[in-house]
Chains A and B, each alone.
Chain A
Amino acid sequence: MKILVCISNVPDTTTKIKFAEGNTSIDTTGIQWVINPWDELSLTRALELKDDAVIGVKSVTVIHVGETSAEPTIRKALAIGADDAIRVNASSSDAWFVAAQIAEVIKKEQFDIIMCGIESSDYNGSIVGGMIAEFLGVPSVSAVSGIKVENGQPVLTREIDGGKEIVTVPLPFVAIVQKGIAKEPRIAAMRGIMMARTKPVKIVEPVKIDPLTEIVSFEKPVPRAACKFVDADNPAQLLDLLQNEAKVI
């Protein structure tokens, strides 16, 4: 069994986002780049599945669509424990472009389980995983918060309104994962960091795909009005504001 984990390279989630070039792009000065949090959890779970010898996971590969600047993030994934990496050498123009590139690679290399985070913390698209599955014509299960493999078959927990479902699908398939998939992201140990330097990163040139969407500008959220403080001994005043000013209770 071979697992592919798709990773996005995103600004650290505590970054204060600033714009550049007349609000048409993100100012990348001083930004710390990290593996998208959900992708990091995916990778952790993939490695846990590999650790369980009974399941027989041969390899965990990470794939990223991006330029050379993403190398440190890819190396980090290798340091955490991925066996090898593939980088499609292109600027990731939109979800359609990224998904099509990854699907092209999968068609050639064959994976049994393809894991994607439910969204990336930068563009919050939640689209790439489902698109990959449809490009390949394989099933996808979204909002997966648990994944096990029993007798060679995936058994998934997916979040539904007000609860969860345990579902199975045949291999190969795309798991679109959310929180809960792994308890905490695995941290790279010194040995892993040393080993990552020699692990293979395959560079693949992109196929010609025209993106379907384009971000033309950014804006900041509308700032909220200053907080009105109410005395801790007078919660009735708070209720009065909520009833008569905000009209929400």
Chain B
Amino acid sequence: MSVLVYTENWDGKFKKLSFELVSYASGVAKMLNTGVTAVSVGKVDNNELESLGKYGAGKIISVVSDSLTAFDSQAYSSILSEIAIKENATVIVISNNNEGKAIAPRLSVRLKAGVASGVSRLPLNLNPFTLYKRTFSGNAFAHLVIKSDIKILTLAQNSFDLIEAPGTPVIETVNPAFDGSLMKTVVKDTQKQTGKILLTDADIVVSGGRGMKSPDNWPPLVELASLLGAATACSRPVSDEGWRPHEEHTGQTGKIIAPNLYIAVGISGATQHLAGISSSKYIVAINNDKDAPIFEAAQYGIVGDALKVLPKLVEAVKEIRK
């Protein structure tokens, strides 16, 4: 028996979510009185691999294969299911991000394992195996029982604190034989923005809404984000108008994020917007309408014209950063 965790790296460096996943998996393993095996796919050096041990991974399986030419959910889930069987995994922990959402359901069918997606707490109960998961876009949480022998959990990003549990992990590098015909995805082109903070990975997010009035008014918002080391985001009307790229759209149908701090500037806070940000640890709202629903979701608020407040806030941040 073991808890298997699928980690993700970006150009050979583990994403923060990988450490969250391992911390979570360690928590589950403790409840089950077993160990954690972490799986890493792609070239990651040994030092970096060992860093997973800091959060409780006792064993690390590093999958390196030239046949994995692109992210293909069919090929990846095939490899992962082989490992899960070999490691006798009873619980498999995966991120609830795009990659995790692509793999988890395919793995589920291969292993006949029930999935709980968007889990944000340790299991509420082991027998029956009960999870706490997000439903109705954050307007409700469900207690979901998985009845199958193997359980797959996808963890909501930034919902679980890193917990250090230092140890020296055993690293095993494998080049798995797998059915090459499963590798069907061919990547024609990649457009990656480098040097930018990933919206879904960011600790702080500064987001603008219709109250920003025009795309020309964004520079102080971008400056505030850069001073705070934050990613930038926007509400749906803003991306629909083409003021900002749609990759920045946070909300029910856009990106769902859970940073430590979300600063909403000129955003009224429609239900659909709140659905994308309500898991943020702290929300700051700046809006000229004191009755705007965003203030019900926020812990800190400033009632005022976004365009007047922003420059003052930028100056104040510069002051404390001196």
Contacts and interface: CB of A to CB of B under 8 A. Distances in A.
A179 to B, nearest CB: 5
B278 A164 contact: no
A96 interface: yes
B108 interface: yes
Interface string A185-229: 000000000000000000000000001111111111100110111
Looking at A143, A179, A228, the one whose CB has the most chain B CB atoms below 10 A away is A179
Interface of B: 10, 15, 70-74, 77, 96-99, 101-106, 108-110, 112-118, 130, 133-148, 154, 184-194, 196, 198, 200-201, 203-204, 228, 246-247, 249, 252-254, 260-261, 270-272, 275, 278, 281-285, 295-305, 308-309, 312-313, 315-317, 319-320
A65 interface: no
Given A134-B106, A173-B184, A216-B145, 17 more contacts: A37-B253, A96-B115, A123-B135, A127-B117, A134-B108, A140-B73, A161-B15, A166-B187, A168-B185, A168-B188, A212-B115, A213-B115, A215-B142, A228-B301, A229-B300, A242-B284, A246-B300
Interface in A145-193: 145, 155, 158-170, 173, 176, 178-180
B188 A155 contact: yes
B186 A169 contact: yes
Interface of A: 11, 13-14, 16-17, 19, 37-38, 41, 94-96, 99, 118-119, 121-131, 133-135, 139-143, 145, 155, 158-170, 173, 176, 178-180, 211-221, 224-225, 227-233, 235-236, 238-239, 241-243, 246, 248-249
22 contacts: A13-B252, A19-B140, A96-B115, A130-B101, A130-B108, A131-B108, A139-B184, A140-B74, A164-B191, A166-B189, A169-B186, A179-B249, A213-B114, A218-B142, A220-B141, A221-B141, A224-B283, A229-B301, A229-B302, A230-B302, A232-B304, A235-B309
A226 to B, nearest CB: 8
A96 B302 contact: no
B10 A161 contact: yes
A131 B105 contact: yes
A212 B150 CA distance: 10
Contacts of A243: 320
B106 A165 contact: no
Looking at A139, A140, A235, the one whose CB has the most chain B CB atoms below 10 A away is A235
Nearest to B272: A13
Q: Which 3 A-B pairs have the closest CB atoms?
A: A130-B105, A232-B304, A212-B114
A231 B302 CA distance: 6
A144 to B, nearest CB: 10
A141 B309 CA distance: 43
Given A130-B106, A159-B247, A169 B184 contact: yes
Contacts of A163: 190-193
Contacts of B70: 165, 167
Contact of B137 (A13, A176, A211, A248): A13
A167 B144 contact: no
Contact of B198 (A14, A162, A235, A246): A162
A122 B134 CA distance: 9
A244 to B, nearest CB: 11
Given A124-B135, A227-B298, A139 B74 contact: yes
A122 B143 contact: no
A236 B189 contact: no
Given A133-B106, A218-B140, A248-B204, A242 B73 contact: no
A165 B261 CA distance: 29
Given A142-B98, A143-B101, A162-B194, A180 B106 contact: no
Contact of B110 (A134, A142, A230, A233): A134
Contact of B130 (A95, A216, A231): A216
B185 to A, nearest CB: 5
A181 B185 CA distance: 19
Contacts of B116: 213
A123 B142 contact: yes
B302 A227 contact: no
A73 B74 CA distance: 32
A139 B185 contact: yes
A167 B185 contact: yes
Contacts of B315: 235
Given A121-B136, A123-B135, A126-B96, A134 B142 contact: no
Contacts of A41: 253
Contact of A133 (B74, B190, B193, B270): B74
A132 to B, nearest CB: 8
Contacts of A126: 96, 101, 104-105, 117-118, 154
A123 B140 CA distance: 9
B143 A217 contact: yes
Contacts of A165: 70, 187-191
A214 B147 CA distance: 8
B260 A248 contact: yes
Contacts of A131: 105-106, 108-109
Given A162-B193, A169-B185, A213-B144, A249 B303 contact: no
